[in-house]
Structure 1
C-alpha cells in the first residue's frame, strides 16, 4: 500500500470537502463528515487545515479555479461568436459532468452572503478575488466587451438556478437560454 504525502492527503481533503459542502452547505457540514469521507481522523484534518473556515475556503478556491480553468481552455484560440458558444458549452458540460461543482458554487454564494450579514466581511474577500479572476478570464476571452461578459454571466446564473431547481431541459423556462443541442 502506497502512503500519500501530506500534500496529496490535503488535496483529497479538499475534494472531499467540496462534495460535503456542496451537499450540506457551510453551516450544515461537519468536519467529522469531511474526515470520514476522506478516511482520516478529525485531529489529522486539523493538522492540514487550521479550522472549518480554512477547509471551506480551500474547497471554494478549488471550485472557482477549476471553473475558471474550464473557461480559459474553452476559449483558447477562438474569436468572436465562437468564444461565447465554446464558453457556454464548456460550462454546461462542467455542471452536467460534475453536479457537485454547481452545488458548491451555489453554497459559496450563500456562505459569503451569510458571513457578510453577520459582519464577517473578510470571509468573502478571497471568494470575490477568485470570482473576479473568472470574470476577467471571460472578459478577455470575449474581447474585453463588458456588456457581452455581463450578459454571458447573467445567463450563466440563470442556468445555475434552473439546473439547481431541477427544471428538465425541455421545459419552456429554458427558452432563450444557451443550449448546445440547439446550436449544433
Structure 2
C-alpha cells in the first residue's frame, strides 16, 4: 500500500544492532569501537541505541554471544544426520567455510579473546563472566556431538584456534599450513 511505512520493531532494531556491532567490533575491537559508529551503521541515534542496550558492554556481549551461537548452529547443520565418527571432519570443513565466507565472524572471534583478556587484566571481569559460559557451551556441544573423549574434543578446538590465528594473519583457508604444525585430522 502506498504511503505505508515499514517500521522496524524493537526486536528487529536490536537484531540490526547486533549485526552492525559484529562488523564494527570485528574491525575496531572493543576499545576502538564507539557506540556512535554502531548507531551510525544501523541508522539510529545513540540515545535510541541505549534504549535497546544499556551500555557498550551489553552490545559487545550480545555480538559475542551471536558469534559463538552462529558457530554452533553451523556445526549443528553440518553434523545433522551424521554418526559421531563422521562429525569431526564435517565440523572441520564447515568451520573453514564459515570463517572463509565471513571474515567479520572470524575477526569478531579474535576480538572476543582480546577484549576479555584486556578487561580482566585491568580488573574488570564482566565480559569474561558473560562470555565464558557461551564458549563452554560450544565446547560441550562439540565434545558430546563428536562422541569424543576430552582430549579429542580439546584437540579439535585447539586446532580451530590455531586456524583462527593463521587465517587472521592472512594465510588462506585453503593453504593447509597448519597441517604441518599440528595434526588436526584426528
Task: Please say whether Structure 1 and Structure 2 have the same fold, judged by a TM-score greater than 0.5.
Answer: yes
1:22-52 Cα distance to aligned partner (Å, 9 max, x none):
0000000001100010000101101111111
Structure 2 segments unaligned to the other structure (5+ residues):
none
Asked if 1:124 corresponds to 2:128, the answer is yes
Of residues 20-29 and 66-75 in structure 1, the stretch that sits farther from structure 2 once superposed is: 66-75
Cα 1:171–1:92 change in 2 (3 A) is closer
TM-score computed with the length of structure 2 as normaliser:
0.90
TM-superposed deviation, 1:81: 3.6
Please list every run of 5 or more consecutive structure 1 residues that lacks an aligned counterpart in the other structure.
Answer: none
Deviation >2 Å, runs of 4+:
168-180
**Bigger CA drift: 30-39 or 136-145?**
136-145
Give the equivalent residue in structure 2 for 1:84: 88
Distance 2:99 2:183 in 1: 14
Structure-to-structure mapping, 1:21-32, within 5 angstroms: 21-32=25-36
Q: Is the 8 A contact 2:53 2:59 kept in 1?
A: yes
Q: Residue 142 of structure 2 corresponds to which residue in structure 1?
A: 138
CA change 1:178–1:7 in 2 (3 A) is: farther
**SS, match of residue 166 in structure 1:** coil
1:172 is displaced (CA, Å) by 7.0
**1:170 CA drift (Å):** 6.4
Q: Is contact 1:35–1:45 with CA below 8 Å preserved after alignment?
A: yes
Partner of 2:56: 52
1:9-28 equivalence runs, <5 A: 9-28=13-32
Greater displacement, 155-164 / 139-148: 139-148
Q: Please point out which of 41, 46, 49 is paired with 1:42.
A: 46
Aligned CA RMSD, in angstroms, stands at 1.9
- TM (norm. structure 1) is 0.91
1:71 aligns with 2:71: no
Q: Greater CA deviation, 106-115 or 117-126?
A: 117-126
Q: Distance in 2 between matches of 1:65 and 1:33?
A: 24
Of 85, 93, 97, 1:93 maps to: 97
